[in-house]
Structure 1
Amino acid sequence: MNNIKKTFLVAFIGWAVLAGQAGSDLQVIRNIRLENLKRDYSGTAIRFMGSNSRSIQGVLLDVTEKNMIISEHGTPVPYDHSGVNHVFVDPEFKDLIMVFGLGALGGVSGYLGAIIGRSNPDANMKGVAFSLGAGLGLRAGYKTFYKPIKIDISGKARG
């Protein structure tokens, strides 16, 4: 009897979740994402593909129900965001500083690793360890910090 109750409860919860997903309003999800875009990225340089597959780039000023207002060369220009699904925020100078910081940290780590790992290493060994550490640090920093942020503003709910 207890097993039947568990099966019934699992089936009921599964049906409730599926019915809730089918009834969710995709426009509400899109509006929430647009409000988050306005709150978090106003004053930030963004880029997106417009309705006629034209790349648009500028500083985000405002997001309304129908438009994104972008500053292009100091002039506010409204763009309809109904066909836009993704907005990209390109990396800034501070992200580049993080990349070079990780490269320097990797170089110092390689140099210290050569000194600690081998008694009395020669200059070539230290140079190779420094270069290898700096190269790996730069690569890790570039792959981690220096990439555009993709912001989904579509109404599609993904879990």
Structure 2
Amino acid sequence: MEFTHFNESGRAHMVDVGEKQDSKRIATAIGSIKMKKETVDLIKEGLIKKGDVLSVSQIGGIMGAKKTSDLIPMCHNIFLTGSDIKFNVLENEIEIEATVSTIGKTGVEMEALTAVSMAALTIYDMCKAVDKNMVIGNIMVVEKIGGKSGHYKRK
């Protein structure tokens, strides 16, 4: 088997995508953060002392998408054409959905996953004073559009 992220000397390297064609690429990832009902209520009522949790988390997620190549080894620095974070606030959980897009030579799945992760981590950071038992999880790509492999949608 030939490994794509190692050079002929067996050392790690970033894959050259220069010969690939540009195409519109979109990826959507989801995840969640579980917490006490009382914590969700404080978020909804705007009573978390650090401020508007979902607004700050949305910004954190977008910033995470933009910084993905700084965090993931061998991940290409991608010019993002769009990034959006949505929340579904449930009784004891907040579901997070991130959609990231570009026109380029490589996909944005890692950017979408990083956006969800950073949004969840931001919620944790802002709420940890009232709920240390929060659990972040179920982070996954649910759809990818564009590129050589085409359209993928999780069943």
TM-score in terms of structure 1 length: 0.28
Higher relative contact order (CA 8 A, sep 6+): 2
| Larger gyration radius, structure 1 or structure 2 | 1
More strand by share: 2
More helix by share: 1
TM-score in terms of structure 2 length: 0.29
